[in-house]
Amino acid sequence: MVDEPVIEAKQVSRYFLAAKKGLLESIFRREIPIVRAVDNVDITVNRGEVVALVGESGCGKTTLGRMLTTLETPTSGEIIFKGETMNEHNKSRFRGKIQLVFQNPLESLDPRMALRDIVVEPLERMNLTSAEKTSMFENALSYVGLESRNFAYRRPSDLSGGQRQRVAVARAIVSNPEFVVLDEPTSALDASVQSQVLNLLVKLHKNFGFAYLFITHNIAVARYISDRVAIMYAGKVVETGPTAQVMTHPKHPYTQALLSAVPTTENKDLTPPVGEVPSLINPPSGCRFHPRCPYVMEVCKTTEPPLRMSEGEEVACWLYK
Percentage of the chain beyond pLDDT 70 is 95
Residue 160 lies in a domain: no
Higher-pLDDT residue of 105 and 256 is: 256
Residue 311 lies in a domain: no
Q: Which of 149, 172, 171, 146 is nearest to 159 (CA)?
A: 146
Q: Edge-to-edge strands of the sheet including 179-183?
A: 98-101, 179-183, 211-216, 50-54, 228-233, 236-242, 313-315, 308-310
SS3 content of the chain, % helix, strand, coil (to 5): 35, 25, 45
Residue 286 lies in a domain: no
| 3-state SS, residue 6 | strand
Residue 24 lies in a domain: yes
Task: Return d(Cα 131, Cα 114) in angstroms, integer.
Answer: 17
Residue 158 lies in a domain: no
Residue 203 lies in a domain: yes
| Rounded average pLDDT over 154-180 | 93
Task: Return d(Cα 80, Cα 68) in angstroms, integer.
Answer: 9
Per-residue pLDDT tens for 1-25?
458 999 999 999 999 987 766 655 5
Per-residue pLDDT tens for 112-148?
999 999 999 999 888 889 999 999 999 999 999 998 8
Q: How far is CA 174 from CA 91, 160, 215, in A?
A: 19, 21, 21
Q: Tally the domains of the chain.
A: 1
Task: Return d(Cα 47, Cα 66) in angstroms, integer.
Answer: 19
Per-residue pLDDT tens for 48-98?
999 999 999 899 999 999 999 999 999 999 999 999 999 888 888 888 899
Higher-pLDDT residue of 212 and 28 is: 212
Backbone angles phi, psi at 141, to 5 degrees: -65, -35
| Segments forming the whole domain that contains residue 241 | 5-97+177-270
Per-residue pLDDT tens for 247-268?
999 999 999 999 988 877 666 6
Residue 313 lies in a domain: no
Which segments of 113-260 are extended strands (E)? 179-183, 211-216, 228-233, 236-242
Task: Return d(Cα 45, Cα 42) in angstroms, integer.
Answer: 11
Question: So what's the pLDDT on residue 1?
Answer: 44
Q: How far is CA 15 from CA 87, 116, 306, in A?
A: 17, 37, 20
> Which residues face 282 on adjacent strands?
none
Of 4-18, 188-202, 211-225, least confident by mean pLDDT is 188-202
Strands 211-216 and 228-233: unpaired
Cα-based angle 138, 91, 49 (whole degrees, multiple of 5): 60
Residue 61 lies in a domain: yes
| Rounded average pLDDT over 275-295 | 92
The overall average pLDDT reported for the chain is 90
Question: So what's the pLDDT on residue 20?
Answer: 65
Q: Find the CATH number of the domain harbouring 19.
A: 3.40.50.300
